[in-house]
Each structure stands twice: as structure tokens, then as C-alpha cells.
């Protein structure tokens, strides 16, 4: 664990995240994030965009991909309802020798290293936690740790964005927070061709028939304003493929009836029973069309 000293206090930095997240969506959204982070003059400052959309549409993947595009270390911080202000900055822990050791959060580690901090599901944490980051998100560009008694300034190359779910299980954040998290970039469900490409990228071992059924299911769900996302589709297909492999063997071709059977089972287990019924109706219509 790398260490740095600030005002006589030793901080232990966390490692950047290395995760297999691949953005397959519109490149325009990547350009929008990068534009928000751009600095165009000595008096200019980077913006801290918020990526908003339903769960499972790829917000975290977009943020991570944009950070890696800059060839910077990317640090992910997962927000929860229990996130405390000190969780975002510095946490004291007891070392092996009984002394207090100060551990920097992913956000502070990114600040010090000039990396990119992605605060995931930011509207799951309270205003009190966000308030501790308010100076970081304006022209001051610093945070203060009451625990360690130090002020930490952000590296000039530091960038930040947050993802926010567009659903009811979140906090309503005040305007002074929203005004610091600009611009808002909305991520919607993908179009059919794009959704199929996402599935193919994440499921290179799946055959066309399974991808066809899953994409048709997702597109119908989007038109009906259902909540089912491409992440749900990937998990459905994965489970169905495992069930088929278990029953038929990895090299055996399953019949269309077997494929549909296990996709229906996957829909009920990954999503819910209404999803399985919805999927069954869709498959029946597809069969009639063929």
C-alpha cells in the first residue's frame, strides 16, 4: 500500500481499480464525459458530471471507460445509505502494532494521484456525506479530514464523476449538491442493434438463437416501459447457458424447446415470475411470426 505524507500525517492510499468493464454504447456519451473533464485555459476548471439512468444501463461502465480513455488510474467508490463523511475521505484503523493508521478513500487516493474518482450510485448516500465533498466540487478543490486534522488539495489532473440511479430507492439531494455535479448526462436503454452488440461482447460464447430471444425480450420490455435492463438480459442468458450446458454438455446443441425452457426459467429466477410469463408470450409470438 503506497504511503504519502501530508502536513506530518502519513496516509495509506488504496489501489486503483482494474475491472473488465467494456463500454459498447454510443461514443457520443464518452465524448460528453471527456468534454466535461476538459480544461481549456489557466482559469478553467474541470466539471464533475453526473450520469443518470435506470439501474443496469451501463453508467458505471461508461464512467470507468472514460477514465481509462484518459490513461489515468480509476478509483471506484460504492455509495450506500450508510456511507459516512469519513468513509469518503480518511478512515482511521488500528494497525498490527496497535497504532492508528489513516487509510485514504478511493476518492482521496484519486485526488492525490491525479486519477479519476467514480462515485457509484451517488444518490444512495445522504446530503451529510455529500456535504463533505462540497469544497472538492467547486473552485476550492480540496477536502478536510476532521479525523486526521488535515486539508487535502486535489492534483490538477484529478477528475470526478458520479452515477445516479433514476429510481425511487434513493435520496433526494439538495440543489447545492446538484449544481456542483454538472452536466447531467442521461443514459437510456440502448437501441436493438446496440443492445445485441452489448450482449455479444459480454457473451461471446452464446449462440445467435439465445441472443435473438434475449434482445427481442429486452426491446419489448423497453417499449412496455418495464425496468428490465441489458444487465438483466446478460444474467438471464448466462444462467440459461449454464443450465443448457449442465443438461446437454458444453459441446451439444440444444433444441429450440430446451433453449426456450431454460430462458423462461432464467427470466423467473433472475427477474421475476411476471417476466417469465412476459417472455413466454413473446416467444409464442416470435414462433408464430416464423
Q: pLDDT digits over 59-117, tens only?
A: 999 999 999 999 999 999 999 999 999 999 999 998 777 788 999 999 999 999 999 99
Lowest mean pLDDT among 65-74, 122-131, 148-157, 267-276: 267-276
Lowest mean pLDDT among 2-16, 35-49, 125-139, 216-230: 216-230
pLDDT of residue 280: 76
Same domain, 216 and 175: no
Same domain, 52 and 143: yes
Same domain, 206 and 278: yes
Instruction: Please tell me the distance from the alpha carbon of residue 141 to that of residue 165, in angstroms, as a whole number.
Output: 26
Same domain, 211 and 171: no
Instruction: Please tell me the distance from the alpha carbon of residue 253 to that of residue 217, in angstroms, as a whole number.
Output: 22
pLDDT of residue 220: 87
pLDDT of residue 200: 92
Query: Per-residue b/e over 205-226, b at no fewer than 16 CB within 10 Å?
Result: ebeeebbebbbbbbbbbbeeeb
Going across the sheet that includes 74-78, the strands are 74-78, 116-120, 159-165, 50-53, 184-186
Residue with the bigger pLDDT between 244 and 116: it is 116
pLDDT of residue 169: 63
Domain finish residue from 186, 214, 245: 186
pTM greater than 0.85 (yes/no): yes
CB 204: neighbour CB atoms within 10 A?
7
Residue with the bigger pLDDT between 250 and 206: it is 206
Same domain, 208 and 170: no
Domain finish residue from 157, 186, 215: 186
Residue 98 domain boundaries: 3-186
Domain finish residue from 137, 153, 186: 186
- Reading the block at residue 75, the C-alpha cell is 478509483
Which pLDDT band holds residue 167 (cuts at 50, 70, 90)?
A: confident
Mean pLDDT of the chain: 90
- Checking if the pLDDT of 127 tops 80, the result is yes
Going across the sheet that includes 100-104, the strands are 3-6, 9-12, 100-104, 90-94
Instruction: Please tell me the distance from the alpha carbon of residue 51 to that of residue 62, in angstroms, as a whole number.
Output: 9
pLDDT of residue 275: 83
Max CA distance (Å), the chain: 74
pLDDT tens digits for range 183-206: 999 999 888 999 999 999 999 988
- Checking if the pLDDT of 290 tops 60, the result is no
pLDDT tens digits for range 206-235: 888 889 889 988 998 888 888 889 999 999
- Reading the block at residue 247, the C-alpha cell is 443438461
pLDDT of residue 250: 54
**HSE toward the beta carbon, residue 134, CA cutoff 13 A:** 14
Amino acid at each position: 500500500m503506497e504511503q504519502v505524507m501530508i502536513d506530518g500525517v502519513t496516509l495509506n492510499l488504496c489501489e486503483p481499480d482494474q475491472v473488465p468493464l467494456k463500454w459498447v454504447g454510443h461514443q457520443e456519451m464518452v465524448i460528453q464525459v471527456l468534454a466535461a473533464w476538459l480544461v481549456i485555459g489557466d482559469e478553467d476548471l474541470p466539471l464533475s458530471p453526473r450520469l443518470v439512468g435506470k439501474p443496469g444501463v451501463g453508467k458505471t461502465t461508461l464512467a470507468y471507460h472514460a477514465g481509462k480513455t484518459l490513461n489515468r488510474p480509476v478509483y471506484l467508490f460504492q455509495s450506500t445509505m450508510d456511507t459516512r463523511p469519513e468513509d469518503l475521505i480518511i478512515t482511521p484503523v488500528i494497525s498490527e502494532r496497535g497504532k492508528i493508521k489513516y487509510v485514504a478513500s478511493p476518492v482521496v487516493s484519486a485526488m492525490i494521484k491525479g486519477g479519476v474518482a467514480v462515485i457509484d450510485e451517488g444518490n444512495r448516500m445522504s446530503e451529510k456525506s455529500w456535504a463533505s465533498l462540497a469544497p472538492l466540487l467547486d473552485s476550492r478543490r480540496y477536502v478536510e479530514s476532521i479525523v486526521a486534522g488535515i486539508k487535502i488539495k486535489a492534483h490538477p489532473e484529478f477528475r470526478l464523476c458520479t452515477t445516479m440511479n433514476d429510481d425511487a430507492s434513493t435520496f433526494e439531494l439538495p440543489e447545492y449538491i446538484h449544481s456542483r455535479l454538472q452536466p447531467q448526462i442521461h443514459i437510456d436503454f440502448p437501441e436493438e442493434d446496440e443492445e445485441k452488440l452489448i450482449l455479444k461482447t459480454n457473451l461471446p460464447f452464446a449462440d445467435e438463437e439465445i441472443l435473438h430471444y434475449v434482445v427481442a425480450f429486452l426491446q419489448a420490455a423497453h417499449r412496455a416501459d418495464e425496468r428490465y435492463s441489458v444487465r438483466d438480459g446478460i444474467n438471464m442468458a448466462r444462467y440459461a447457458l449454464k443450465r443448457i450446458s449442465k443438461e446437454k454438455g458444453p459441446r451439444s446443441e440444444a433444441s429450440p424447446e430446451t433453449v426456450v425452457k431454460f430462458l423462461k426459467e432464467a427470466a423467473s429466477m433472475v427477474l421475476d415470475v411476471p417476466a417469465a410469463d412476459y417472455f413466454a408470450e413473446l416467444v409464442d409470438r416470435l414462433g408464430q411470426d416464423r
